[in-house]
Amino acid sequence: MGEWSEPSPQYNTRPDKPYLPVTHVRSDGGRTGDLTIRWKALPKQNQNAPGIYYKIFYRRTGVDEERDFQENTLRHLGNVNMYVIRVPREYFFTTYEVKVQVFNDMCHMPQCSGPMSEPETVMTAEDLPQVAPTKVGARSFNSTAIRIHWTSIPEVREKLRGKLIGYRIKYWLQNRDEVIDSQYVLSRSINPEALIIGLLPNTYYWVRVMAYNSAGPGPESERFLERTFKLRPQKPPTAVQVRGINPSTIRVTWRYVSPSIQEEPLTGYKIRIWESDKDISDAKDTEIKVGNRLEATISNLEPGKSYMLRVLAYSQGGEGKMSSPTWQFQMGDPARLKSAAATHYTYVQLLTSILVPIILNRLLT
């Protein structure tokens, strides 16, 4: 085989109209009154000629089926991937049917039309909710949290004006300025309740609730005042003792915890037990209410297993500090106990077989 020739001049194939339509046609929010249409722009290798551009077709669904599509030609925008159409403001959160057609410089004649995308159903931008949640209430959850509840706003287009995302809870200290000192909790749930945490113990807070969608929050509800509980128990139980009863049962005792005037009255105690080779998050609690003896019998433990144990007091203010140090104990092995019992029985049986004849013989003589 001989040497190669010199390379030839470059040649282009003849241009043609686009063969492939655009894909991923969808809507994308915007201001109230916007019909924002997006699509995946046609890549260069599929354009088949210079001068790529698009034409948008749109009409309302459920209303304008008999009417022809309205058109917008984006001749001077080039290879864009979105376009915003302003529609009347009253058409917020309204369903539209849209199509996108692609063109290039070969499609300047009427008989030369580019490919059309499949019709897609999209939504115009949402508007702010027009009504506020009602019947707002609150209850103390513990010394640093309040649970808020309310009645949801009706899921009616004219009131919600979009898709409900969640609720915004506004709160501030009773003796502070609402405008300056307010803080907010954003609940991304449609459930009509939320928990505000990180509050001060034994303190009054005002709260308000508002619904929100992608356009933003709606009007605020009436305000409601609630107080957090006093402090949780600040001292741990002391003198904790653990005694085994049988291979699967223990008895736990401890000393009384005396709450101060800044703390909520005790509700009871919790004995927290978990296997020593696991994390405390897997622990199981046994509750003893105030008024009962300061002891608990815990059964259904696994014989032969090693466990960790701590005791704590709790009240409406929350759980107190756990006892320290952590008790670690080993449950009895029933096989070993059975073996020891068998050995003891054999020894007694042997001793009896020797001593009984001797005693009887002496009594007879």
Q: Report the CATH number that the domain containing residue 171 is assigned in CATH.
A: 2.60.40.10
Question: In which band, very low, low, confident or very high, does the pLDDT at 335 lie, cut at 50, 70 and 90?
Answer: low
| pLDDT score for 340 | 44
What's the CA gap between 255 and 322, in Å, rounded?
13
**Mapped to the 3 state alphabet, what secondary structure does 252-313 carry?**
EECCCCCCCCCECCEEEEEEEEEECCCCHHHCEEEEEEECECCEEEECCCCCCCEEEEEEEE
Residue range 189-209, pLDDT digits in tens: 999 999 999 999 999 999 999
Mean pLDDT on 315-332 = 92
Residue count of the chain, please give it: 365
The answer to whether residue 363 sits within a structural domain is: no
| pLDDT score for 255 | 94
Mean pLDDT on 285-290 = 94
Residue 271: count other Cβ atoms within 10 Å of its Cβ: 25
| pLDDT score for 350 | 46
Residue 24: count other Cβ atoms within 10 Å of its Cβ: 11
Residue range 141-150, pLDDT digits in tens: 999 999 999 9
Is residue 212 domain-shared with residue 249, that is, in the same domain? Answer: no
Is residue 64 domain-shared with residue 106, that is, in the same domain? Answer: yes
| pLDDT score for 300 | 87
Question: In which band, very low, low, confident or very high, does the pLDDT at 359 lie, cut at 50, 70 and 90?
Answer: low
Q: Does the structure show a pLDDT above 60 at 338?
A: no
Percent of the chain whose pLDDT exceeds 70: 88
Kindly state the tokens that stand for 325.
């140090």
The answer to whether residue 46 sits within a structural domain is: yes
The backbone torsions φ and ψ at residue 196, rounded to the nearest 5 degrees and listed phi first, read: -100, 125
What's the CA gap between 331 and 313, in Å, rounded?
25
Percent of the chain whose pLDDT exceeds 90: 67
> Average pLDDT of the chain?
88
Residue 80: count other Cβ atoms within 10 Å of its Cβ: 13
Q: Does the structure show a pLDDT above 50 at 268?
A: yes
The answer to whether residue 151 sits within a structural domain is: yes
| Cα-to-chain-centroid distance, residue 58 | 38
What's the CA gap between 203 and 75, in Å, rounded?
64
User: Total structural domains in the chain?
Assistant: 3
Partner residues linked to 172 by β-bridges: 206
- Give the residue from 59, 94, 123 where a domain finishes: 123
Is residue 144 domain-shared with residue 119, that is, in the same domain? Answer: no
Residue range 97-136, pLDDT digits in tens: 999 999 988 876 555 678 999 999 999 999 999 999 999 9
- DSSP single-letter state for residue 46: G
Question: In which band, very low, low, confident or very high, does the pLDDT at 186 lie, cut at 50, 70 and 90?
Answer: very high
Is residue 27 domain-shared with residue 49, that is, in the same domain? Answer: yes
DSSP code string of 156-220: -HHHH-S---EEEEEEEETTS-HHHH-EEEEE-S-SSEEEE-SPPTT-EEEEEEEEEETTEE---
Kindly state the tokens that stand for 235.
């001292």
Is residue 27 domain-shared with residue 114, that is, in the same domain? Answer: yes
Is residue 105 domain-shared with residue 147, that is, in the same domain? Answer: no
| pLDDT score for 78 | 87
Q: Does the structure show a pLDDT above 90 at 345?
A: no
Residue located via tokens 């915890």: 257
Residues 6 or more apart from 228 whose CB is under 8 A from it?
A: 140, 142, 143, 144, 145, 146, 199, 200, 201, 202, 203, 205
| pLDDT score for 106 | 82
Question: In which band, very low, low, confident or very high, does the pLDDT at 159 lie, cut at 50, 70 and 90?
Answer: very high
What does pTM read for this prediction?
0.74
Is residue 169 domain-shared with residue 209, that is, in the same domain? Answer: yes
| Cα-to-chain-centroid distance, residue 335 | 47
| Cα-to-chain-centroid distance, residue 186 | 12
- Give the residue from 199, 227, 255 where a domain finishes: 227
Give the amino acid at 217.
P
Kindly state the tokens that stand for 199.
């509050």
Domain that holds residue 216: 134-227
Is residue 152 domain-shared with residue 97, that is, in the same domain? Answer: no
What's the CA gap between 85 and 302, in Å, rounded?
70
The answer to whether residue 61 sits within a structural domain is: yes
- Give the residue from 88, 123, 158 where a domain finishes: 123
| Cα-to-chain-centroid distance, residue 333 | 43
Question: In which band, very low, low, confident or very high, does the pLDDT at 341 lie, cut at 50, 70 and 90?
Answer: very low
